[in-house]
Amino acid sequence: MAFKRILCAVDFSEASLAAFRKAAEMARFGASRLYVLHSIEARPVVSSLPGIDEAGAMAVEFEEKATAALESLIASSASVLKGIQLTTEVTAGRASVEILNHAHDWQADLIVIGATGAASLEQIVVGNTAERVMKDAPCSVLIVRQDTAQRVVQGMAPAARLLKQAAASQFYERNRASFRRKGSGYANRNTRN
């Protein structure tokens, strides 16, 4: 079966980078469209909420850093992506919900996701993104395991480094409310052929 619309979710963990590489290979082999999605998940810390203007500026800064990380990932994989119709998007919200909503809206026939991602304590207690996506997906799901990830991550380090720098700023954790919008959240979408 050839998949024509492949959605790949990345959080810049090693497993998600391996999933990205696998999705790109499958898209190239099947002459498929590839949609690469990164969802910004934030946790509020109510005791230190800054003013609205500061929170908005921080949200924009974090979105810019996530977009830069995604662009770096795409640039570092240019040879693999050559000839693939590609759409990238940075959005905000719970990753599993965003992945499922985008897969449904875009009518994906395959979701490619890493088996483990950049886990938080909540994910360990409540369950991980891959598990939730697998249970509720409107299409087939390919989960790329961690052992595969270690063989593929070389050359993708700049994207992971950019995201780690963004996460280190921790404004994201303090300001989840500024990322919330009606529907599936704000989106920064780029499409290219």
What is the rounded distance in angstroms from the CA atom of residue 58 to the CA atom of residue 140? 36
Q: What per-residue confidence (pLDDT) applies to 117? A: 57
Is 101 inside any structural domain? yes
Highest mean pLDDT: which of 17-26, 52-61, 161-170? 17-26
Is 110 inside any structural domain? yes
In terms of residue numbers, what domain contains 56?
Answer: 10-184
Stronger pLDDT, 7 or 12, i.e. the higher one: 7
Least confident of 28-32, 114-118, 181-185: 181-185
Is 91 inside any structural domain? yes
Is 31 inside any structural domain? yes
Inter-CA distances, 121 with 118, 124, 125, 160, 170, Å: 10, 5, 6, 20, 16
Is 1 inside any structural domain? no
Enter the pTM of the model.
0.71
Is 159 inside any structural domain? yes
pLDDT at 27 over 80: yes
Q: What is the mean pLDDT of residues 9-38?
A: 93
Is 3 inside any structural domain? no
Is 59 inside any structural domain? yes
Tally the domains of the chain. 1
DSSP state of 46: G
79 CB-near residues (< 8 Å, 6+ apart): none
pLDDT tens digit sequence for 75-102: 999 999 999 999 999 998 899 999 999 9
Give the CATH number, domain containing residue 127: 3.40.50.620
